[in-house]
């Protein structure tokens, strides 16, 4: 059984140059129906009554010890001069504070390494756990004292 066309003219057997939109529209309608059905199911939430409590925020900022060492090896504890021999006692008392303070070391670039190493060893030996170095980025001048 042969199918014929209603056009019996010269261009009756030529291929179609248009896209058949009917199957595309059918697929889009099916997808639309699926999304309409599944969208309410995705936004379903369970209501839970969570207990409410009020509390003051905890201000737990530890104190800072600013330890500066100049080029001659002089040590300054929070801008007050101190002897190297007194540092272990000060470190020991600072390590017993709760929360433990942070030790910020600022050393001149001409400071001898042995002085810096001795200070760091004393701080570690006495129990200070938070030791950090403060430096100035290149191109910036250090703050005036």
Question: pLDDT by residue (tens digit) across 86-135?
Answer: 999 999 998 888 888 899 999 888 888 888 889 999 999 998 888 888 88
Does residue 97 fall inside a structural domain? yes
CATH number at residue 107: 3.30.420.270
Does residue 89 fall inside a structural domain? yes
Q: Is residue 99 within 8 Å of residue 128, measured between CB atoms?
A: no
Does residue 53 fall inside a structural domain? no
Domains in the chain, number? 1
Question: pLDDT by residue (tens digit) across 71-95?
Answer: 888 899 998 999 989 999 999 998 8
Q: Which helix (H) or strand (E) holds 29?
A: helix 22-42
Q: What is the pLDDT of residue 5?
A: 58
Does residue 141 fall inside a structural domain? no
What residues make up the domain containing 110? Answer: 64-133
- Minimal CA–CA distance to 90: which of 123, 49, 60, 51? 123
What tokens does 144 get? 């005036």
Does residue 6 fall inside a structural domain? no
């Amino acid at each position: 059984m042969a199918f014929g066309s209603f056009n019996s003219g010269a261009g009756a057997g030529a291929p179609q140059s248009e896209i058949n939109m009917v199957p595309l529209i059918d697929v889009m309608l099916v997808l639309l129906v699926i999304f309409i059905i599944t969208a309410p199911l995705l936004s379903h939430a369970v209501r839970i009554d969570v207990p409410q409590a009020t509390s003051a925020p905890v201000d737990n900022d530890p104190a800072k010890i600013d330890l500066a060492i100049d080029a001659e090896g002089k040590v300054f504890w929070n801008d007050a001069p101190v002897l190297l021999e007194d540092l272990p006692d000060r470190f020991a008392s600072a390590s017993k504070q709760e929360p433990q303070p942070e030790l910020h070391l600022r050393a001149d670039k001409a400071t001898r390494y042995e002085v810096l190493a001795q200070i760091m060893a004393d701080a570690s030996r006495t129990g200070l756990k938070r030791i950090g170095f403060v430096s100035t980025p290149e191109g910036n001048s250090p703050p005036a004292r």
